[in-house]
Amino acid sequence: MARYVFITGGVVSSLGKGLASAALGALLQARGFKVRLRKLDPYLNVDPGTMSPYQHGEVFVTDDGAETDLDLGHYERFIGTPASKQDNITTGRIYQEIIAKERRGDYLGATVQVIPHV
């Protein structure tokens, strides 16, 4: 059975949520648990690649070429598992995928709304 741990600290940056998550992941892994770390960011940007490093910080580029949050670099180093594009989820990317589905006709002409489509 899968178990999930969520670490949140609101919108305040530089609290150490990413490093705490990476450290907790390493501890759980040392106890024999299979660990996968993901980061969910609420901003509407698709990824942090075009965001100002003064506002967001540096980006981390994954092996599959995704420009992601720097925390994914911590995750990768702490638990020894390569991070991918799928490990960094933003509101902007979710909306981008929904709009692409709407343009393809996947919703069969229905009005696309936050509930139930997002």
Hey, where are the domains in the chain?
17-89
| Residue 8: predicted pLDDT | 87
For residues 80-108, average pLDDT: 95
- 21 has a pLDDT exceeding 90: yes
Task: Output phi, psi for 40, to 5 deg.
Answer: -110, 120
Mean pLDDT for all residues in the chain:
92
Q: 66 Cβ partners below 8 Å, 6+ apart?
A: 47, 84, 85, 88
Q: What is the pLDDT of residue 13?
A: 74
Kindly tell me if the per-residue pLDDT of 115 is higher than 80: yes
- Percent of the chain predicted with pLDDT > 70: 100
